[in-house]
Amino acid sequence: MREVIFDTETTGLDPKTGDRMVEIGCIEMVGRIETGRTFHAYFNPDRDMPPEAERVHGLSAAFLATKPPFAELADELLVFLDDAPLVAHNAGFDFGFLNNELELAGRAAIALDRMVDTVAIARRKHPGAKLSLDALCTRYGIDRSHRVKHGALLDAELLAQVYIELTGGRQIGLGLADSPADSLMIVQPIANAPWHRPPADKPRREPRPHVASPEELERHRAFIAGIAEAIWTR
């Protein structure tokens, strides 16, 4: 199954009050495996960048002024998303901004039934625990040392690893693959491995007989005959 993991950066918290999306990063996964295909873009929000938002992601108004408006890249983004489920952390926030930009660009909104929220998954799996992306990376041992500031593509890459862990990890050959070929795990034998043959100085034991002796067969017949009301005699 194809899925797209994505993250956004914005000018604030609420598109209904004029906040805009300024960055989006998308990671393609097929069968819970990253394919290497990504979509990443910055957008000119045609408004100022509040200092508190810039401190989070480091994107200044001057930097974004040289970027295209969302409408110019909307179709390219929609082609990448296609009809795949869209996975995001606190997905309602990202969907709200994405659909707001699509509406402003004259495009149809993305249906909410395509939304997969990793916060909701984490809350069911780890009730009472911290659910931030940083906290989940720590829980699952995912290296985020290169994450100095928030960035849409970087956060999507981290989320892809978290999503794999939240949905069972990379289990090979347990029926999670899309096709039988995807579930095969080929183990190459190690040439001349010591367990392939016993050491030359180890004494060999004669093969053990596996056929019952006549005496054992007779004792067995006597035992069976002594069972009262045996079901095989009915």
Residue 208 lies in a domain: no
Residue 188 lies in a domain: no
Predicted confidence at residue 150, as pLDDT, reads: 76
Residue 210 lies in a domain: no
How many domains does the chain divide into?
Answer: 1
Q: Note down the domain range covering 147.
A: 2-181
Residue 186 lies in a domain: no
Residue 213 lies in a domain: no
Predicted confidence at residue 19, as pLDDT, reads: 97
User: Which of the following is catalytic: 40, 146, 150, 196?
Assistant: 150
pLDDT at 115 over 60: yes
Residue 217 lies in a domain: no
CATH number of the domain residue 47 falls in: 3.30.420.10
Q: Is 220 a catalytic residue?
A: no
Higher pLDDT, 29 or 209: 29
Distance CA 152, CA 31 (A): 22
Residue 126 lies in a domain: yes
pLDDT-derived band at 216 (thresholds 50, 70, 90) equals: confident
Q: What is the tens place of the pLDDT at every residue in 24-36?
A: 999 999 999 999 9
Residue 157 lies in a domain: yes
**pTM exceeding the 0.85 threshold for the entire prediction:** no
